[in-house]
Structure 1
Amino acid sequence: MVDDLFLDRVEIVTPNTLSNLTAIIDVVDFNCTRPEPVYGELALLDICQSLRQLLSAEHFERFAQGLKLWATTAGLQILYHLQERPIGVSQYEFIRRHTSGAKSCLALADASNCGPVSPEEFYRPDVQRFCRYTNNIICLANDIHSFIVEARQPGQF
């Protein structure tokens, strides 16, 4: 919901645009919300507090890192949408790789099934390659699914 509300086809950058994205990162980093939370901030805090109780610090950090990469590249995606011409394929692939949200989800998949995968196993090159392939499949499936709608929107490339 936050992705759809704040990122997809942002036509005008407002004074709240940056604040909305940094609020997400601040919840993950500081385990609290701002005095006047933005949409989704309280829900994310609730999720993060539950995950902090269920996961080891290292395992929560995998989830948090994925979420921080999502929020950071979301800002780049907004800049991409505001351009008059398409960006390069490599820039698009970089942005897309992180705005899928898959990294934070993949970080939780093992804990929900059989317990957290150890850092030694999680960071093995073959496991990371599998995570990249999974992320690519998620991104491609999403792009194919949304292609018709997005192709009709002005400024889509």
Structure 2
Amino acid sequence: MQLHADWQMWLFAFDDVRSEESEAGMHPGLMARTLASYLRILQDPTTQVPEDDAFTAALRDLRHRLEAVASQAQVDRFVTSVLGYWFAQVWEAANRADAAWPTVEEYAAMRVHTGAVPTCLALIDVVGGFELDAAELARHDVKALTTKAVNVVCWANDIHSYEKEAARSNHPVNLPALLHRRDGGGIQEAIDLAARMHDDEVTAYRDLRHRTAAGKKLERYLDGLQSWMRGNLTWSLSTGRYQQTADQT
């Protein structure tokens, strides 16, 4: 659990310092070069890289600790999910550099990765002390449930963080903003539509979960998905991270 919490803190720190509102966050080339060093550490934590900063040192520590408690298959799954997140960071940086606005459909496809949620879901069985078979994770229904859970978490985040992002970013790309650009009307209409999309995805998850046959380990994984959806909502409503205050504006 501590490993998972520390990975969460790495992600939040990276988002604050190296992502959207940073120099690297505006330059895809710089972002790619920064992430190349991290990739080397992620693949082999004994690798020495030129930029041995706090992020590199923390990532090295996390990677060593993961290897100590997870199987090779679980480590590989985590690494793959982080690669998806890092590619999405370069994509976002390219959009900011070019002042490009993705379509709602493009954004929804990439939002699965930009929020880093799959990197956290990849640790559900590691934290739980069990290992879910790769064949079960690859099932069409299980993959669909996983994607729906990610959508629920990320779309809820887009709604909760909209006000802060709109106030602080010159290029706020999120679900309400893109719906507003597509449909026009008032921004509250776009936020309400995003909320309905979120709620519909929750309903779709519940319906599919009811029809999904699962053994004991898969049930624990699916319970983990639901805990993530509920936990994210509870945290988002209580954290000060998305609150607009005088010193944030």
TM-score, length-scaled by structure 1: 0.88
Q: Does 1:116 align with 2:134?
A: no
Q: Is the 8 Å Cα contact of residues 136 and 142 (structure 2) preserved in structure 1?
A: yes
Q: Per-residue CA shift, 1:113-153, capped at 9, x if unaligned?
A: 24111112121111111110111011112111110011123
Structure 1 residue runs of 5 or longer lacking an equivalent are: none
Deviates more, 1:57-66 or 1:23-32: 23-32
Q: Is the 8 Å Cα contact of residues 31 and 89 (structure 2) preserved in structure 1?
A: no
Structure 2 residue runs of 5 or longer lacking an equivalent are: 1-12, 174-249
Q: Is the 8 Å Cα contact of residues 74 and 122 (structure 2) preserved in structure 1?
A: yes
Where do 1:33-112 residues align within 5 Å?
Answer: 33-112=48-127
Counterpart in 1 of 2:32? 18
CA RMSD of aligned residues (A): 2.0
Amino acid at match of 1:6: R
1:72/1:115 CA distance change after superposition, 3 Å: same
Structure 1: 4+ residue segments shifted above 6 A: none
Amino acid at match of 2:148: Y
Q: Distance in 1 between matches of 2:94 and 2:82?
A: 19
Counterpart in 1 of 2:154? 139
Displacement of 1:38: 3.5
Q: Distance in 1 between matches of 2:116 and 2:83?
A: 10
Displacement of 1:91: 2.3
Q: Secondary structure at the match of 1:143?
A: helix
Count of paired positions: 157
Aligned mate of 1:155, from 152, 171, 183: 171
Counterpart in 2 of 1:125? 140
Q: Secondary structure at the match of 1:82?
A: helix
1:60/1:14 CA distance change after superposition, 3 Å: closer
Identity of aligned residues (%): 24
Q: Distance in 1 between matches of 2:50 and 2:97?
A: 30
Q: Is the 8 Å Cα contact of residues 77 and 95 (structure 1) preserved in structure 2?
A: no
Displacement of 1:3: 2.1
TM-score, length-scaled by structure 2: 0.58
Counterpart in 2 of 1:7? 19
Deviates more, 1:8-17 or 1:102-111: 8-17
Name the structure with the higher helix share.
2
